[in-house]
Amino acid sequence: MKKFVKGRMINLTDPRLNTKVVFKTDDFFASAKRIINNNPPVFKEGIFDKHGKWMDGWETRRRRTKGFDYLIIKLGRPGKISNIDIDTTHFSGNQPTQASVQACFNYKNKPDSKSNWITILKKKRIGPNKNHNFKIKNNSTFTHIKLNIYPDGGVARIRVFGKIAMEKINFGNKMLNLTSMLNGASIIGCNNEHFGRAENVLVPGKGKNMGDGWETRRSRGKNFDWLIIKCGQPGKINKIEIDTHHFKGNYPDSCSLQAAYISKKMSNYSIVKKSNKWKLMLNKVKLKANKKNTFKNKIMKKNKINFIRINIYPDGGISRIRAFGKVLA
């Protein structure tokens, strides 16, 4: 089997998941909200505002008293954290000397004095203009993180990678989008994501632009592209939406869907290898540009599935994939 692009951990601080900065000690030079921006940080030469040089990140004033600065981020969904990236890109001479991260579980919007903060990353030295990746060895579920910077300074981005903890959510009997990140869906793998990352198809809401979707390179020859999604929960699918918004001259001509229910633990490699033999859930159908392509009557309804494979012919871009159904235990 050819090599494939493996799925990644979800960035739990992605603002598209409704993540928010709920407190900061200070953001005199650069707004704390920028630290969770999903786009790479940029540098704007010669741009100043009323407080000084415009910076793409969170930057506090120079401390003249003892102490340190921090901010609190509420994750869009409770999650288990595996890695943290503290990114100081473009911050040189104004980055913190050290940083640490704490986390807590609290359903309130902003934790209070009674909240049990656990240190998941002890003080680490922070350098200028670089990514600092740290592995987190704590399997607890958290709703908030606190980034502490010593004593002050600027951080471009914080990215908290992990998995949404679905055991804390009661779905009931309502119809859900089982391929939404908010409901625990993730990418197993795809054959190509040259222009747009595969996980974008799982993000809630409408795509902002063509970059906010999955797009493959131009295929040459008799090829097609594919993507495999692990549903957040097993369920019975009643409706599929293949959303091609913003993709006009580069949308796929057609697509088909396959599905399976896998109860035992398997590696991503094994799942990908066997996926081409899964039963069809949707026969090959034409797609339209810049539109929500909805399929209901054509779906071959199965009792229970937890994996979906979409095949696009011959290549192109898709903004979102939504599979609506009820959760089955």
- Paired with 310 in beta bridges are 227, 257
In a domain, 5, yes or no: no
The answer to whether 74 and 144 are in contact (CB under 8 A) is yes
Which pLDDT score, from 0 to 100, does residue 174 have?
84
The helices-and-strands tally (H runs, E runs) of the chain is 1, 23
Residues 169 and 175: their CA atoms lie apart, in Å, by: 14
- Residues 121, 182, single domain; the answer is no
Q: Is the peptide bond before 128 cis (omega within 30 degrees of 0)?
A: no
- Residues 87, 177, single domain; the answer is no
- Residues 74, 155, single domain; the answer is yes
- Residues 59, 72, single domain; the answer is yes
Which pLDDT score, from 0 to 100, does residue 25 have?
98
Per-residue pLDDT for 168 more than 70? no
In a domain, 3, yes or no: no
In a domain, 2, yes or no: no
Model pTM?
0.89
Residues 87 and 55: their CA atoms lie apart, in Å, by: 13
pLDDT in tens, 296-328: 977 777 679 999 999 999 999 999 999 999 998
In a domain, 216, yes or no: yes
Question: For residue 205, what is the enclosing H or E element?
Answer: none
Rg value, the chain, Cα: 22
Going by pLDDT thresholds of 50, 70 and 90, the confidence category of residue 169 is: low
- Residues 205, 147, single domain; the answer is no
- Residues 37, 88, single domain; the answer is yes
Chain center to CA of 253:
27
Going by pLDDT thresholds of 50, 70 and 90, the confidence category of residue 2 is: low
The answer to whether 99 and 175 are in contact (CB under 8 A) is no
- Residues 139, 219, single domain; the answer is no
Residues 6+ apart with CB under 8 A from 300: 279, 280, 281, 282, 283
Amino acid at site 301 = K
289 burial via Cβ count (<10 Å: 0-12, 13-18, 19+): middle
The secondary structure of residue 30, as a DSSP letter, is B
Residue range 19-48: mean pLDDT, rounded: 96
Q: 140 φ, ψ to 5°? A: -70, 160
Which pLDDT score, from 0 to 100, does residue 167 have?
65
Residues 140 and 134: their CA atoms lie apart, in Å, by: 17
In a domain, 273, yes or no: yes
User: Which string of DSSP letters, residue by residue, matches 248-288?
Assistant: SSSS-SEEEEEEE---S---HHHHHHHHTTSEEEEEEEE--
- Paired with 101 in beta bridges are 121, 147
Query: How many domains in the chain?
Result: 2
The three-state secondary structure class of 182 is helix
Of the candidate ranges 1-15, 62-76, 210-224, the one whose mean pLDDT is the lowest: 1-15
In a domain, 151, yes or no: yes
In a domain, 132, yes or no: yes
* Residue 190 CA: distances (Å) to CA of 166, 207, 229, 275: 24, 20, 9, 11
Per-residue pLDDT for 329 more than 80? no
- Residues 216, 121, single domain; the answer is no
- Residues 51, 135, single domain; the answer is yes
End position of a domain, from candidates 166, 188, 217: 166
Average pLDDT for the chain: 94
- Residues 153, 201, single domain; the answer is no
End position of a domain, from candidates 166, 195, 226: 166
The answer to whether 207 and 280 are in contact (CB under 8 A) is no
Compute the Cα dihedral for 33, 38, 41, 44 and give only its sign.
negative
In a domain, 178, yes or no: yes
Which pLDDT score, from 0 to 100, does residue 166 have?
76
Per-residue pLDDT for 200 more than 90? yes
- Residues 114, 220, single domain; the answer is no
The answer to whether 119 and 136 are in contact (CB under 8 A) is no
| Strand-pair category, 225-243 with 186-190 | antiparallel
Q: What is the CATH number of the domain that holds 245?
A: 2.60.120.260
Which pLDDT score, from 0 to 100, does residue 142 have?
96
- Residues 127, 185, single domain; the answer is no
pLDDT in tens, 115-137: 899 999 999 999 999 999 999 99
For residue 76, the enclosing domain spans: 10-166
End position of a domain, from candidates 166, 201, 231: 166
